[in-house]
Chain A
């Protein structure tokens, strides 16, 4: 496998042929923000939060192959603003009430907002959707008011669990994550599915019942550091 080097924000890093910009950056300890991408799932490139500039073009780092000698911009004020706008639009589209959400502190959307310095409510008017909570399954609930349509549950269910519990329905602004049955109880979803595991849903949409607020404040994932801190710590190892 051919090895080569390219730069991210002027820092030269190693890469191998077939790696995406994000994969190479992760190995080098450089964090590129992302929401729809997740380790162990195929790349989708839909949330665009990982947008970087490569050769003057805006590309999603999770799908764009790394190339020898490429000059990539990641942490620039312009990209920071674009990413913050994208995250703000996700807040505007859903009902993300962090103070009462059991995902708070473990939520990647909330953590991304902190990382991107979203220090005030979104400037976009809230759409305030009213989507019924599906608690029909004995062990799992679904609060679609919090869904950001990242599709991680879809890929996890289809590619890892081999089930297809979740799938996209509709087009454009109307596209949303649907189920293979009328409600969750009608699907073959199980608590042991990878799609249901706490790491797959980045927000508080897929709820494992009776867990709630069992993890005390101070011990939640992002109480330990900003999102991406584990990747960035590799750089200093």
Chain B
């Protein structure tokens, strides 16, 4: 092994859009550099310009087919500000919350059972033709059945609040366009006990996996970082729909707390690097080199003070118990955290279904028009920021979106590098197992996967190994 080499993984699928991984090996075959490149140009910030403000929540949700509700609601919250509404009528806010809990539930269930479970159940090195939901259904039929029915429940909550399971129209500037009928509510209430039982079982499954694979979990792409999320105003509880920003450093010390999210630009900076269309946000006061942070379910478990639903709060306490006073940095712990949030969503959905405000008829508020609006929400994959400016003709003149996967950009890159160093250094051949370890590291972040996730476990990940002169030495892909 006398010459440096470049390994290129292209395309990396199951990410939002198109990406590739490049790994540079030095002359000794050691990993010199590893990067996740997002090579697709999103363009939404540009082509939304000129559109009318009330169209925005419906247009921008098309960013994603897995978590469109998050974009729909973040944009709607920004438009609330633009139409001068700081406080929604209770029916509107609660219908939106219900929609969001349904969304987080279905997204987390999809990721854990349909996408990650094959890795967790059958092992990272299992044959590729077994690492899919169909094998889960064959080997664990009851688990597979629950996965499908839990996701269905979440999707039906979205349909009841937004009009469609995917890409609905529920949230409008200043409110919502429907309430919840008693008949629909009763249909959900009839199933909520079962959903809670299944969510508790899912938490136990994720916990048991984490506990029984402690060595792997503690070492696999696990590294300390800062974390950021919304927390509820005042008491700092978990709040997926609304709150203020809190960031903690790797030791758990506060970087900022209860910060009004409309001031996000005061604390966050987006760095641009020439090799990726995805920006690298960092915390302004800490600087570009070390100011990076992570968001998402595990980040939220770390940042929030507590969860205001009893079962999920107990589950969170257990999740953090092994880490003493510190934070949980084990990226595979995200799977457990996701299931804690599914349980939280089920508890919240139950609470809301019993709330008569959902049958209210005051759906929309109005106010004095403003020029700009910022909407922030905790999407399934983490913090999501939508920022717009609108002119006097109601047309959008500026848009800035920071999606969860962007917040996690540096973390994703470090995870790829960590796995690459451990798996590829000194290796002459690329094996299926090496490829899947890189996939597992990327997948643990559940990067916003709208298109490629439809491959359902069959990642057409291609790796090519070049010598320093550009000659192809070896090539493999996971579906082959």
Q: Write the residues of chain A forming the contact surface with B, with a CB cutoff of 8 angstroms.
A: 99-100, 102, 132-133, 135-136, 141, 207, 209-218
Contact = CB atoms under 8 A, between A and B. Distances in A.
Contacts of A212: 52, 54-55, 172-173
30 contacts: A99-B58, A100-B55, A100-B62, A102-B54, A102-B55, A102-B58, A132-B50, A133-B52, A135-B52, A135-B393, A135-B395, A141-B52, A141-B393, A141-B394, A209-B52, A210-B394, A211-B54, A212-B52, A212-B172, A212-B173, A213-B54, A213-B57, A213-B58, A214-B172, A214-B364, A215-B177, A216-B177, A217-B162, A217-B168, A218-B163
Contacts of B168: 217
B169 A216 contact: yes
Contacts of B169: 213, 216-217
A123 B172 CA distance: 35
A100 B58 contact: yes
A205 to B, nearest CB: 13
A227 B435 CA distance: 53
Contacts of A218: 163
Contacts of A102: 54-55, 58
Interface residues of B, number: 24
A136 B393 CA distance: 6
Contacts of A132: 50
B163 A100 contact: no
Given A100-B62, A210-B54, 9 more contacts: A99-B58, A100-B55, A100-B59, A141-B393, A209-B52, A213-B54, A213-B57, A213-B169, A216-B170
A213 B177 contact: yes
Contacts of A217: 162-164, 168-169
6 pairs of A and B residues whose beta carbons are closest in the complex: A217-B163, A212-B54, A135-B393, A213-B169, A216-B178, A216-B177
Contacts of B58: 99-100, 102, 213
Contacts of A135: 52, 393-395
A30 B162 CA distance: 35
B59 to A, nearest CB: 5
A133 B167 contact: no
B51 interface: yes
Given A102-B54, A207-B52, A209-B52, A216 B163 contact: yes
B36 to A, nearest CB: 30
Given A102-B55, A135-B394, A213 B164 contact: no
A4 B176 CA distance: 53
Contacts of B52: 133, 135, 141, 207, 209, 212
Contacts of B50: 132-133
A216 B178 CA distance: 6
A37 B168 CA distance: 31
Interface string B137-171: 00000000000000000000000001110011110
Q: Which of A99, A133, A212, A217 has the most CB of B within 10 A?
A: A212
Interface string B46-69: 000011101101110010000000
Given A100-B59, A133-B50, A141-B52, A213 B172 contact: yes
A209 B399 CA distance: 21
A141 B57 CA distance: 18
A99 B167 contact: yes
Contacts of B59: 100
A1 to B, nearest CB: 47
